[in-house]
């Protein structure tokens, strides 16, 4: 009996945790969309497709998925020099955008969960706060 | 009657751009692009001082003096709001710089009560390696945390009036068509910031009196025509529909009521491209080249280009050369293909063309 109660409580708290996180993620993605449409869309375009050889794509980008930390740093501190994204070499400068850390969380969650991107762990404020240049 | 109808329709259609909108690739190169100043990030403004040095403004806020191959950082420039497309932007010299010493700046500034920033115009003097006598001449309001469309370009006309552009700051449905609000405008002021009494809206109640034209989106190119003295601008359209316009007192350039562009999402903004009371551009680019910086070639260094307009392309990463017949663009050509995002282009007092490229630096075009 004890075992059943314990498992029950575990399952309920676990579900609650996931549901809350899910809600938080959804809200973060929603806010992130506004940030994206303000700061990112002019170069990376509406569906994250970018412009080949000029602005790397964010949609289904191998670089983004394999270099989560470097990607967040790129948004926080700017991005310089050569990058290879989906087999294409990019060599441009993205200046720091001047976003607040909360805004970086939101826009990263939007990008990591849009246009066929999915499955990444939710980006949190702690994660962005701790990333140093 | 049917024929007449058709005739009327056709005449209407022909009001737009006549020539085809194709850009050409030259068959032979007539110059080399020599990297004169290297390791720059976003070199937005450049001016040429009488001692042969060049001042370069970086969007980050840094100001560099380049002389005899050496870079020196100039301190005490404008305090900039670095967010999105905002930062330290353009620079211009007073027409009588040798006697007045005034250097003009445009930049994103946090000055004001609201959170965020908006475009400001300042003048200052260069003393040694530092700026002094700083005076804010104009500050658009209200501030906003939106990241786009600060405008920025500065130009003096033959009468000594200073023109500058401020983009619509991401509020296309609120700002550009309202002369009681800043942003989405070309402004005209005296060299000391006073508002000319013959500005078009000085007597309209609540109008921003420095406004000279409205219905502009985000102009990042501005140059005085070498013969007519008129101020020419170009402005970024949305997806498609970048424009070249000639600045004329009090006129409405139509954004966002009329445009040749569409939303980034591919959906139309409007299908109206012309309307009574709104100006047609003398040229529009579809697709958008994302124009930044603009100069007329007037020197004898490039005989084949004399009288041409040069415009930087951010998105296609080349320098565009446009041949003109009066106010009509007759030919377009790509120069410096794949060089990088071209942020600015100017003809120096030595007659050479200087091209500022993001992530690279300043190139000097040397004829072969």
| Tens digit of each residue's pLDDT (9 = 90 or more) over A2-37 | 777 777 777 777 777 777 778 999 999 999 999 999
Q: Does an H or E element contain B118, and which?
A: strand B118-127
Q: Quick count: other Cβ atoms within 10 Å of Cβ B243?
A: 26
Q: Quick count: other Cβ atoms within 10 Å of Cβ A19?
A: 10
Please list every residue in chain A whose beta carbon sits closer than 8 Å to the beta carbon of residue B315.
51, 54
| Tens digit of each residue's pLDDT (9 = 90 or more) over B168-197 | 999 999 999 999 999 999 999 999 999 999
Tokens 């920033």 correspond to B117
Mean pLDDT of chain A: 91
Q: Do B147 and A54 touch (CB under 8 A)?
A: no
Q: Is the pLDDT of residue B12 over 80?
A: no
Position B151 confidence tier, pLDDT thresholds 50, 70, 90: very high
Name the range with the highest mean pLDDT among A9-13, A110-114, B262-266.
A110-114
| Tens digit of each residue's pLDDT (9 = 90 or more) over B32-66 | 999 999 999 999 999 999 999 999 999 999 999 99
Q: Do B60 and A93 touch (CB under 8 A)?
A: no
Position B13 confidence tier, pLDDT thresholds 50, 70, 90: very low
3-class DSSP assignment, residue B181: coil
Among A4-8, A125-129, B241-245, B248-252, which is the least confidently predicted range? A4-8
Tokens for A87, please give them: 């087999």
CA dihedral (B153, B262, B312, B151) in degrees, to 10, reads 10
Q: How far is B157 from chain A (nearest CA, A)?
A: 32
Q: Is the pLDDT of residue B5 over 90?
A: no
Q: Is ipTM > 0.85 here?
A: no
Q: Is the pLDDT of residue B14 over 70?
A: no
Q: Is the pLDDT of residue B17 over 70?
A: no
The whole-number average pLDDT for the span B290-307 is: 97
Position B141 confidence tier, pLDDT thresholds 50, 70, 90: very high
Alpha carbon distance A118, B21 (integer Å)? 40
Q: Is the pLDDT of residue B16 over 70?
A: no
What is the pLDDT at residue B7?
41
| Tens digit of each residue's pLDDT (9 = 90 or more) over B73-117 | 999 999 999 999 999 999 999 999 999 999 999 999 999 999 999
Q: Is the pLDDT of residue B3 over 50?
A: no
Residue among B82, B317, B338 minimizing CB distance to A98: B82
What is the pLDDT at residue B15?
44
Q: Do A39 and B147 touch (CB under 8 A)?
A: yes
Position B1 confidence tier, pLDDT thresholds 50, 70, 90: very low
**Nearby residues of B154 by Cβ (< 8 Å), 6 or more positions away:** B90, B91, B92, B104, B105, B106, B121, B162, B163, B164, B222
Alpha carbon distance B218, B290 (integer Å)? 10
More confident residue, B239 or B241: B241
What is the pLDDT at residue B361?
97
Residue among A38, A92, A97 minimizing CB distance to B359: A92
Indicate which of B84, B88, B240, B312 best probes the interface with A, i.e. most A CBs within 10 Å of its own CB: B84
Q: Do B315 and A51 touch (CB under 8 A)?
A: yes
Q: Provide, rounded to the nearest whole percent, the portion of chain A with pLDDT above 70.
A: 99
Q: Is the pLDDT of residue B221 over 60?
A: yes
Mean pLDDT of chain B: 93
Q: Is B79 on the interface with A (CB under 8 A)?
A: no
| Tens digit of each residue's pLDDT (9 = 90 or more) over A80-99 | 889 999 999 998 888 889 99
Concatenate the DSSP letters of all residues of B195-264 into one string. PPTTSTTTTSTT--TTEEEES--EEEEEEE-TTT-PEEEEEE-SBS-EEEEE--TT-B--TTTS-S-B-T
Closest CA to B58 of B363, B365, B360: B360
What is the pLDDT at residue B262?
85
| Tens digit of each residue's pLDDT (9 = 90 or more) over B314-368 | 989 999 999 999 999 999 999 999 999 999 999 999 999 999 999 899 999 999 9
Q: Is the pLDDT of residue B20 over 80?
A: no
Residue among A95, A97, A98 minimizing CB distance to B41: A95
Among B17-21, B156-160, B354-358, which is the least confidently predicted range? B17-21
| Closest chain A residue by Cα to residue B358 | A93
Contact between B83 and B117 (Cβ < 8 Å): yes
Alpha carbon distance B283, B87 (integer Å)? 29
């Amino acid at each position: 009996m004890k075992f059943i109660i314990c498992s029950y409580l575990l399952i309920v708290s676990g579900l609650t945790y996931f549901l809350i996180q899910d809600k938080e993620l959804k809200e973060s993605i929603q806010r992130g969309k506004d940030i994206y449409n303000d700061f990112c869309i002019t170069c990376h375009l509406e569906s994250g497709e970018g412009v080949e050889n000029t602005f790397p794509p964010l949609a289904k980008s191998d670089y983004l998925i394999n270099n989560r930390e470097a990607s967040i740093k790129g948004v926080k501190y700017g991005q310089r020099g050569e990058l290879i994204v989906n087999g294409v070499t990019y060599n441009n400068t993205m200046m720091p955008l001047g976003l607040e850390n909360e805004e970086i969380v939101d826009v990263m969650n939007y990008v990591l969960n849009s246009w066929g991107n999915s499955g990444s762990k939710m980006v949190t404020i702690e994660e962005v706060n701790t990333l140093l240049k | 009657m049917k024929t007449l109808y058709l005739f009327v329709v056709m005449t209407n259609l022909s009001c737009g751009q006549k020539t085809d909108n194709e850009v050409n690739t030259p068959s032979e190169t007539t110059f080399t692009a020599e990297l004169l100043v290297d390791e720059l990030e976003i070199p937005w403004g450049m001016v040429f001082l009488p001692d042969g040095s060049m001042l370069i403004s970086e969007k980050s806020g840094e100001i560099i003096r380049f002389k005899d191959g050496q870079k020196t950082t100039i301190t005490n420039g404008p305090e900039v709001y670095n967010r999105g497309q905002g930062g330290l932007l353009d620079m211009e010299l007073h027409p009588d710089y040798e006697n007045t010493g005034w250097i003009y700046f445009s930049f994103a500034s946090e000055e004001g009560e609201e959170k965020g920033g908006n475009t400001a115009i300042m003048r200052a003097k260069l003393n040694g390696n530092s700026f002094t006598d700083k005076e804010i001449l104009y500050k658009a309001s209200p501030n906003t945390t939106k990241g786009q469309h600060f405008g920025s370009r500065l130009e003096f006309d033959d009468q000594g009036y200073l023109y500058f552009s401020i983009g619509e700051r991401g509020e296309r449905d609120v700002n550009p068509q309202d002369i009681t609000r800043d942003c989405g405008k070309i402004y005209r002021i005296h060299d000391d910031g006073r508002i000319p009494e013959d500005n078009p809206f000085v007597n309209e109640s609540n109008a921003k009196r420095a406004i000279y034209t409205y219905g502009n989106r985000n102009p990042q190119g501005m140059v005085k025509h070498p013969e007519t003295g008129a101020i020419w601008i170009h402005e970024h359209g949305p997806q498609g529909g970048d424009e070249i316009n000639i600045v004329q007192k009090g006129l409405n350039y139509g954004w966002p009521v009329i445009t040749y562009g569409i939303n980034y999402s591919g959906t139309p903004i409007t299908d109206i491209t012309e309307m009574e009371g709104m100006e047609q551009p003398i040229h529009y680019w579809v697709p958008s080249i994302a124009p930044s910086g603009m100069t007329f070639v007037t020197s004898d260094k490039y005989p084949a280009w004399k009288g041409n307009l040069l415009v930087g392309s951010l998105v296609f990463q080349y320098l565009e050369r446009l041949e003109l017949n009066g106010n009509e663009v007759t030919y377009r050509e790509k120069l410096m293909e794949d060089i990088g995002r071209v942020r600015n282009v100017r003809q120096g007092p030595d007659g050479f063309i200087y091209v500022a490229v993001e992530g690279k630096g300043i190139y000097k075009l040397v004829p072969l």
